[in-house]
Structure 1
Amino acid sequence: METFVKRRSSAPEGFFACEAAGLRWLAAADGGVACVRVLGYDATTLTLQRLVTVPPDRRCANDFGRRLARTHDAGARAFGAAPDGWTGPGFFGPLNHPLPMALSEHVRWGEFYAEDRLEPMAELAGRALDAETRRGLDEVIARCRAGAYDGGDTPARLHGDLWSGNVMWTPEGVVLIDPAAHGGNRETDLAMLALFGCPHYEAVLAGYQEIHPVRPGWRERIGLHQLHPLLAHVVLFGASYRGAASSAVAAALEIVV
């Protein structure tokens, strides 16, 4: 078996153990999306089965959508909950600069999103955000905390960093890599897929809706769910992402609640 080794000598404590726990938790969902096989890890490395990739197609995308819905439906203990078997902190972002990600349990999604995602990332972004964007963001945070965006869905089992680069198209179907796994809102993964473009996105959505129809109005909430990763991009890559973050803030404020 060919292997792939992720390596970082200065990785934060628990970084690779957390990723391994997330992959195993996601893979445990009955009928869900496959995840890359974990072969071993230590403080500075994560050894995975090497994947063979093929071009994406609509049939595979549709199957991916159905399986993603089943992964989400496997659920989590609470909003913000860590993967089973993991009790430490979480991480979000690239291998060379992972950002801290709280893993604490909440009853309501809006409270979790405000306190454990938007507020910490806004503080990290600091002065990279202009005053108008920060005022709007503070209003979005207040609405989240008040429950304005909460729906009736239970906590979903999320990949948590489901941009297209973490979706591997293989001869056996889609395989997921590099999670920031936690319990959250299923719309977060769907919005992340849309953020930088996913091949055959509409086919993915069609497959997803066959298994678990998404709450009406979800497309209007995409900006709300993209706000956290866009703020992370401001932190990681600078003010070039400020415009996209500002647009996401504006989109969130336009949601009729």
Structure 2
Amino acid sequence: MEQYVKTRADAPAGFFAAEAAGLRWLADAGGARIAGVLEVAEGRIVLERVAEVRPTAESADAFGVALAATHAAGAEAFGQAPPGWTGDIFIGSRSQPARPTATWGAFYASQRVEPFLPVAVAAGNLPASGAEIVRRACALIAEGAFDDDESPARLHGDLWAGNVLWAPEGVVLIDPAAHGGHRETDLAMLALFGCPFLDRILAAYDRARPLRAGWRDRVPVHQLHPLAVHAAGHGPSYGRALVDAAERTLALE
């Protein structure tokens, strides 16, 4: 089996252990294919190498169904970290909390959006006035405006196209920030940065496990997290996009 080795000399404690726990938890769902973990240590993780091919409509259809199954495997609580892991998890190189919370809105606002706002403001990527608009949207979310009766889903947590590898046997996922959350969040992130055959993925997902009415209207709500992460370190354009998503979230009230 070919291997892919990732190293990072300055990795925070547990950086790769958290990734490995997330990959294994997602694999245990029996849905979407997940890159296999061969070895993990401080500063290093060894994964099964994924051979990549051109995306196909058939693989997209299969991935939509498989992702629905991964989400349906569930989590014990919103904010749950992968079993066997305690403490913060990581999205890219940034840490974020993973504390079990009773409701999705309270979890999402306090642990997925708000932690990145001071960093984005300090970096000059988000004006204070814009941060206030985002905080207003977070208050609305935390109050339960978008809570529903869905149980926590088992999320990949960083589901952008770069973490979706098209292999001969179908899509394989890498680099998760796995946690218990709302399934619409993974789908919204997949849409934010684009993905081959996205419409087919979403249609197949919806056929396998129908989404609640109005899910397309709620996309800005679920994109607040990845936009906040990017506003913290990738420039003012993401700060502007974050404020726009917050304004669209407030307009749903």
Give TM-score, length-normalised by structure 2.
Answer: 0.96
1:115 match: 110
Q: 1:86 and 1:135 mapped to 2: Cα distance?
A: 33
The residue aligned with 1:84 is 83
Which of 207, 212, 215 does residue 209 from structure 2 map onto?
212
Matches of 2:88 and 2:127, distance apart in 1: 30
**Identity rate, percent:** 51
Deviations 1:129-181 (A, max 9, x none): 22332221111111111111112111000000000000000010000000000
Q: CA deviation at 1:78?
A: 0.2
Distance 2:22 2:8 in 1: 18
Superposed structure 1 runs of 4+ greater than 4 Å apart: none
Equivalent position of 1:195 in the other structure: 192
Residues 18 and 88 of structure 1 are in contact (CA less than 8 Å); yes or no, is this contact kept in structure 2? no
Please report the RMSD computed on the Cα atoms of aligned residues, expressed in angstroms.
1.0
User: Partner letter of residue 120 of structure 1?
Assistant: P
Q: CA-to-partner distance for each residue in 1:33-87, whole Å, 9 max, x for gaps?
A: 0100100011011001111111111111011000000000000010000011111
In the alignment, what sits opposite 1:171?
Answer: 168
Shift of 1:10: 0.7
**In the alignment, is the contact (CA less than 8 A) between 1:188 and 1:226 conserved in 2?**
yes
- Equivalent residue runs for 1:18-29 within 5 Å: 18-29=18-29
Give the counterpart of 2:180 among 183, 187, 211.
Answer: 183
- 1:105-254 to 2 correspondences below 5 Å: 105-127=100-122, 128-254=125-251
Is the Cα contact below 8 Å between 2:87 and 2:97 reproduced in 1? no
Question: How far apart are the structure 1 equivalents of 2:201 and 2:149?
Answer: 23
What is the TM-score with the length of structure 1 in the denominator?
Answer: 0.95
Which residue of the partner structure matches residue 11 of structure 1?
A: 11
Contact 1:14 1:43 in 2 (8 A): yes
Residue 27 of structure 1: how far off its partner (Å): 0.5
Structure 1 unaligned spans of 5+: none
Q: What number of residue pairs does the alignment pair up?
A: 251
Partners of 2:163 and 2:173 within 8 A in 1: yes
